[in-house]
Structures are given as structure tokens and as C-alpha cells.
Copies of this chain bind each other. A is one copy, B any other.
Amino acid sequence: VPADRPGNDPVDLVGRARAGDARAVARLITLVENDSPLLREIAVLLLPHIGRAQIVAVTGPPGVGKSTSTAMLVTALRQEDLRVGVLAVDPSSPFSGGALLGDRVRMQEHATDQGVFIRSMATRGHLGGLAAAAPQALRVLDAAGCDVVLIETVGVGQSEVEVMQQADTTVVLLAPGMGDGIQAAKAGILEVADVYVVNKADRDGADQVVRDLRYMQSLRPAAGGAGSWTAPIVKTVAVRGEGVGDIVAALRTHREWLEASGELTLRRVRRAAAEVEALALESIRRRFGDIANSTELARLASEVADRALDPFAASDRLLSALQT
């Protein structure tokens, strides 16, 4: 083992991650993904160093230019000297190797940039799913000093919805000529948008997409008062980087609004509640799984079969055994 290769000591790993060591960041996320026994210690060590990053979900229908937009957004954020994390949660993403060469090359330059952490996560394989692993992975990137962490998701499945719920700001990408507006509305992703991006804005129909979005917004009355937010609509040509700076500006404006309105706290509390509930449920499931194979259940089942005990009373006793 080379001396500079990080081991599994959490204190060492978190210290290195905070100093910007990309390998320590990668190692910590791997431990998180693998549901390591060190998970709890890592969570405690990260605690004082999190809460600074703006978590941004980038989503939209396939073919809308999501990978390209994400790559160009990284470039634009770096131009403002912001530290950026990227969590890609689909195998067709450039970060996990399934995308077009053009996109890969475009991200390649970021791969050698000390101010960018790129990480892909599989949507399968983790106990409890991505919903369980993603919050901790985001905390690692947050503690590593990222100003913005981009979550790139593909598709509109349950995994995407769960991961999007981890974001402070959700960017929904659309493009002209694909019927995307309608499809996206059907999929419900328009309702979660904090920023709209109409990509491929040099194509026919881009203005129509913008009009459609404005019309849909007009149908849904804002909550009203100083606390309400109307999602801005940004036009981009991501392949040429046009308009991407406007996304960065929209993200900043949204972050300011989140803090000023108290919505940031509301969203984080809501996320924390979902996460704690999921962890508790998983913990019960594991403990109960053990009990189901226990001698206690076997003993109670014998009593029920002997008609010495009714099944409801047996269930009560099993639960009592579970709770000691």
C-alpha cells in the first residue's frame, strides 16, 4: 500500500477531504455507498463541516442536453472560482461512462481540476437505495468545501424523485421540438422546478416553449406575498456555453431567496425528517429480520400451534422481545 493512499481511518479521511484531497473524498463516498460500519463515525465527524453547499438538482427529459448543460455549468461556476461537486446518479451520465465522447471530453478537463469533485453513484445495489446513500454522499462533498453540488439525474423514476428531494434548488431543463413541456408537466417535474432552462434556444420553437412555461405559471397562482418565488426561465445553447452564466446567476438569486424567506430551513428540515424516518424504518427492518429467525418466534409459534396462546398475544410478546 503506497503511503499516500488513504486508509479507512475516518478522522484521517475527513481531515484530508476537508483539505481538498480528492482520493479521500472518493474513499468516504465509497464507504457511504457500501453501508460501511464506519458510517456513523463518519456522520459525526462531518457534522461540524456541513450546511454550506447549495445542493442543485439538474433534471429533465432525455435528449434535452442535460449532460452538456451540467458540464458547461461546472465551467461557469469554476469561472467564478466556486468549488463544485458533481453527483451523477445514472449510468448514462458522462461521469459514469455511458455518454457521448463529446460530453466526456468536455468533463475531462474538470477531472484534473482541484476545485471539482466528480462522482457517479449507481441507482441500484445499495441497501435502502440511493435515497439512503445520497444524503451522506452529499454531506461528504459539502464538508469537502464545495460551494455548489450538482446532482444530475436521468429519467423520471422513483430514484430520481428521491434524489431530487435532496436538492435546495431544482433546475428543470427543456428543449424545443420534443413535446417536452407537455411530457414534463405530465411527469410532474415542472411542479418542482425552481429554475427553468430552455436549452437549444437557437432552434425553432424555443420561444414557444418559453411561452408555454409562462402560461403554465400563470395558471398556478403564486403563494403571494414577499415570500413567494416564481421560477425564472433561462434560455441557453449549452453546446456553445451561451446563457449558462444566466443559470449561475439564477442559482445565486434562488439561494438568496431560500435564505431570506426561511424556505431553506423548511426544505432542510423536511429532508432531514424523510432521512431519519427512512433510517429508523431500515433499522427496525433489520432488527426485526433477526427476530423473525430467532428462537423466540419459534417458541411462540409452538405455543400458538398448541393453542396455548392466540396469535395476537404471541405478536405482542414477540414485539416485547424486540424492544429489549
Q: What residues make up the interface of A, taking CB atoms closer than 8 Å to B?
A: 39-40, 43-44, 46-48, 50-51, 135, 265, 268-273, 275-277, 279-281, 283-284, 288, 291-292, 297-298, 300-302, 304-305, 307, 309-316, 318-319, 322-323
Contacts and interface: CB of A to CB of B under 8 A. Distances in A.
Contact of A307 (B51, B271, B280, B302): B51
Nearest to A296: B276
B39 A311 contact: no
Contacts of A44: 310, 313
B276 A314 contact: yes
Given A40-B310, A311-B279, A312-B40, A297 B273 contact: yes
Given A288-B284, A301-B270, A276 B307 contact: no
B43 A312 contact: yes
Given A269-B302, A281-B288, A275 B311 contact: yes
A109 to B, nearest CB: 34
B305 A265 contact: yes
Contact of A279 (B283, B298, B312): B312
B272 A311 contact: yes
Contacts of A307: 47-48, 50-51
24 contacts: A39-B312, A43-B310, A47-B307, A47-B309, A48-B307, A265-B305, A268-B305, A269-B301, A270-B301, A271-B305, A272-B300, A272-B301, A272-B305, A272-B314, A273-B301, A276-B300, A276-B311, A276-B314, A276-B318, A277-B318, A279-B312, A280-B318, A283-B315, A323-B323
Contacts of A280: 288, 291, 315, 318-319, 322
A315 B277 CA distance: 7
A270 B302 CA distance: 8
A256 B144 CA distance: 71
Nearest to A45: B310
A38 to B, nearest CB: 11
Smallest CB-CB A-B distances: 9 pairs: A273-B301, A272-B304, A279-B315, A43-B310, A268-B305, A272-B301, A280-B315, A269-B305, A276-B314
Contacts of A322: 280, 284
Given A276-B314, A279-B314, 13 more contacts: A43-B311, A44-B313, A50-B307, A51-B307, A269-B305, A273-B298, A273-B300, A273-B301, A276-B301, A277-B297, A283-B316, A284-B319, A284-B322
Contacts of A316: 283
Contacts of A297: 273, 276-277
Contacts of A271: 305
A54 B102 CA distance: 71
A272 to B, nearest CB: 4
A178 B46 CA distance: 65
B315 A276 contact: yes
**A44, A302, A310 interface centre (most CB from chain B within 10 Å):** A310
Nearest to A304: B272
